[in-house]
Structure 1
Amino acid sequence: MAIYKVDLPAGVVAHSLVDATQHASAMAQAVAEALRAAIDSHGRATLVVSGGRSTAAFFEALSGQQLDWSRVLISLADERWVPVEHPESNEGLVRRHLLRGAAASARFLGLYRAAPALEEAAAQTDHALAELALPIDVLVLGMGDDGHCASLFPRSPNLADALHPECERRCLPMQAPSVPRQRLTMTYPLLASARLPLLAIQGEAKLNTLRAAVAGDDALGMPIRAFLRPPLEIYWCP
């Protein structure tokens, strides 16, 4: 099955790439173009990215793009509540694969806080995210096989609050079904503010998940449904 066979909502754009290398390159070019436009328009740009094993190639392709990285603020859609040195840290992934070369001059706003408890860490991160100028210029999301995005997991205790369009919190603690379970996530109002939201998926399994998400409307069951609307662009490869 190809992505053009998925009955996407009107206005949602799909890009089909031949392989993971082209997928990373095409996304890097699109993100860099949007960041350049934002810098030209208002002198700065904000990029919010997601973690995950498949993002390293995209980060490396993006780090090689020519733009004024000193005017870019990079943050994370979500984070595992682990120190930066931990192998599961999204911040660690970004620092290893994106914040290098010319891109090392970008500002980075991480989500992890070394607080005594997850709830306290989320409160501290919520306060720190006040410096994130809205709207976000570019948001890059991934999607799990269960339809989660960022750390908005089905059946997580705070999911309804995190997905509420008028949620007053910028960051909430979440519980993932896999280890490490304790997570931090940006909430829907921040994520949905993005001028250019992108969804990066690879493989037939993710395409099947996308098709299931499109077929329903319960965002609590599949949180990605909350984002399947224009101006979302989806980048997929087999």
Structure 2
Amino acid sequence: MKMPTETRLAPLPQLALADTALIEHDYADSHSLADELAAAVANDLSDAIATRGRALLGLAGGTTPRQFLLRLGNKRLDWAKVDVTLVDERWVAEDDPRSNTRLLQETLFQGMARAARFTSLYTPLLQPENAEDIIAARIRSLALPYDVIVLGMGADGHVASLFPGGDNLARALDLGSDRLVTAMRAPGASEPRMSLTLSTLLAADSLYLHIEGRTKREVLAQALAPGAHAAQWPVRGLMQRRGEPGRIYWCP
């Protein structure tokens, strides 16, 4: 994969990245970050299509990835051979303003990526706890593991919907489990969620963490510092990745 051009910025608290499963790439602004991240992800997807015939992509919602999703959706590749899911979903109707599915419809699927096949993590009428088996079956029907996963991070250190204090956080972080998804309710979440588990995330061939803002960079430094724990800072669970290192894409 083509490595991005790096722009070093003013010093911030150091990340504890020596001998770990993460590599940091810093950018001067969100525009250059979005361009480079979209190019890297598109390259990974093209490689997966060439190797496996299809590619599987997991994306984060929220406010941070909007520029990246718009750019990725306009990349020239064989989108008809790409399966797309979210890494987590708020348990709201898919036309709700807070729905991550709606975010993809407004961004990624406005471009050439509209030809991709989307698999939802939401199902109406059921509570998320009663829909886990349904959603897990949908994910299991895809060509696992994920070729690419792009995560965001909250100001509390959560990734996907693995929230500190979440009712199902312990089982979501359990790398000995074969569980693909879990329902999650947490003090930091405004509504119930459905999330991929940590083991599902870590199994991806390419893993990216996209964060913006100095505050989140400082949170990440705390989470990755020696002595921190994934139960307090779920993003720290990414340090358990094996194989190709994950990549942190950050701008102020």
TM-score range normalised by the length of the shorter chain:
over 0.9
Which residues in structure 2 correspond to 1:35-184 (within 5 Å)?
A: 35-178=45-188, 180-184=190-194
Q: 2:236 aligns with which of 196, 215, 225?
A: 225
1:84 and 1:173 map into 2 onto residues whose CA distance is 17
Higher alpha-carbon deviation: 123-132 or 96-105: 123-132
| Partner secondary structure for residue 207 of structure 1 | helix
**1:137 shift after superposition:** 0.5
| Partner secondary structure for residue 229 of structure 2 | coil
**1:55 shift after superposition:** 1.0
**1:38 shift after superposition:** 0.7
Q: TM-score, with normalisation over the residues of structure 2?
A: 0.90
1:162 and 1:132 map into 2 onto residues whose CA distance is 20
Distance 1:6 1:188, change over 3 A: closer
Q: Show the counterpart of 2:248.
A: 234
2:183 and 2:54 map into 1 onto residues whose CA distance is 29
1:82 and 1:74 map into 2 onto residues whose CA distance is 19
RMSD: 1.6
| Partner secondary structure for residue 46 of structure 1 | strand
Is the Cα–Cα contact under 8 Å of residues 167 and 188 in structure 1 kept in the other structure? Answer: no
Equivalent residue pairs, number: 238
Q: TM-score, with normalisation over the residues of structure 1?
A: 0.95
Task: Confirm whether residue 196 of structure 1 aligns to residue 210 of structure 2.
Answer: no
Deviations 1:7-59 (A, max 9, x none): 32425211111101111111000000110111111111111000011111110
Is the Cα–Cα contact under 8 Å of residues 35 and 138 in structure 1 kept in the other structure? Answer: yes
Output the amino acid matched with 1:100.
Q
1:123 and 1:3 map into 2 onto residues whose CA distance is 43
Gaps of 5+ in 1: none
Output the amino acid matched with 1:109.
T
Q: 2:16 aligns with which of 7, 10, 18?
A: 7
Deviations 1:104-152 (A, max 9, x none): 0001011011133221122321222111222211000011111110000
Among the aligned pairs, what percent are the same residue?
39
Q: Show the counterpart of 2:5.
A: none
Output the amino acid matched with 1:201.
I
